[in-house]
């Protein structure tokens, strides 16, 4: 099997940190100011974050393409918007060289199934308005922009859009 997804274990934390840091570099290079994005690229700090998420039994999945760790999704059965029975996807990232191989779809399917098992009947996520590649993917996965927008905390205030999917 070329693409494989499984629940992450603590030993995956270093790979997860590498995936998120390298993905941020490519995904947000034209969206977030370089001097601010650099604050989020500390792999040791990210590794500790993922160790804690896994210890706390958060939903953390790792994806492999040809046996190489190159994708992740981080989610929770709760959400920050007080939406009833709605899980949240906080992060879904792939290394740039693994995009378009079907791994993101597998990550999304597995996390959606887990959230459904946890009693969620919908899932939400936020995406930068300028991130058309991600928006196209979410819409392909049947997420719909619900009209909610917010400004990101970065100095240039990129706009984030909320997408929701019924599951």
Bridge partner residues of 7 (DSSP) = 61
pLDDT at 139 over 90: yes
Q: What mean pLDDT do residues 93-111 have?
A: 95
Task: Decide if 125 is inside a domain.
Answer: no
- Cβ atoms within 10 Å, residue 26: 14
Considering its fold, how many domains does the chain have in total? 1
CA distance 71 to 136: 18
Helix/strand/coil percentages in the chain, nearest 5: 40, 30, 30
List pLDDT tens digits, range 37-81. Answer: 998 999 999 999 999 999 999 999 999 999 999 999 999 998 777
Task: Decide if 31 is inside a domain.
Answer: yes
pTM given for the model: 0.94
pLDDT of residue 8: 98
pLDDT of residue 118: 95
Task: Decide if 36 is inside a domain.
Answer: yes
pLDDT at 17 over 80: yes
- The domain containing residue 101 runs over which residues? 3-120
pLDDT of residue 79: 78
List pLDDT tens digits, range 103-134. Answer: 999 999 999 999 999 999 999 999 999 999 99
pLDDT band at 143 (very low <50, low <70, confident <90, very high): very high
For residue 17, what is the domain's CATH number?
3.40.630.30
Task: Decide if 160 is inside a domain.
Answer: no
Task: Decide if 166 is inside a domain.
Answer: no
Place of tokens 């993917």: 137
Q: Which among 89, 152, 82 is positioned nearest to 125, based on CA atoms?
A: 89
Q: Which among 119, 8, 152 is positioned nearest to 74, based on CA atoms?
A: 8
Task: Decide if 167 is inside a domain.
Answer: no
Place of tokens 């994806």: 63
Task: Decide if 159 is inside a domain.
Answer: no
Task: Decide if 17 is inside a domain.
Answer: yes
């Amino acid at each position: 099997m070329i693409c494989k997804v499984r629940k992450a274990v603590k030993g995956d934390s270093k790979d997860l940190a590498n995936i998120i840091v390298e993905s941020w570099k490519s995904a947000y290079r034209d969206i977030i100011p370089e001097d601010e994005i650099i604050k989020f690229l500390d792999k040791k700090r990210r590794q500790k974050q993922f160790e804690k998420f896994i210890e706390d039994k958060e939903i953390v999945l790792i994806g492999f393409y040809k046996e190489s760790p190159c994708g992740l999704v981080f989610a929770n059965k709760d959400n920050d918007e007080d939406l009833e029975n709605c899980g949240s996807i906080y992060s879904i990232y792939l290394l740039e060289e693994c995009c378009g191989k079907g791994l993101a779809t597998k990550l999304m399917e597995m996390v959606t199934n887990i959230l459904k098992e946890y009693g969620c009947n919908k899932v939400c996520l936020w995406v930068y308005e300028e991130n058309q590649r991600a928006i196209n993917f979410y819409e392909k996965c049947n997420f719909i922009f619900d009209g909610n927008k917010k400004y990101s905390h970065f100095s240039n205030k990129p706009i984030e859009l909320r997408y929701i999917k019924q599951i």
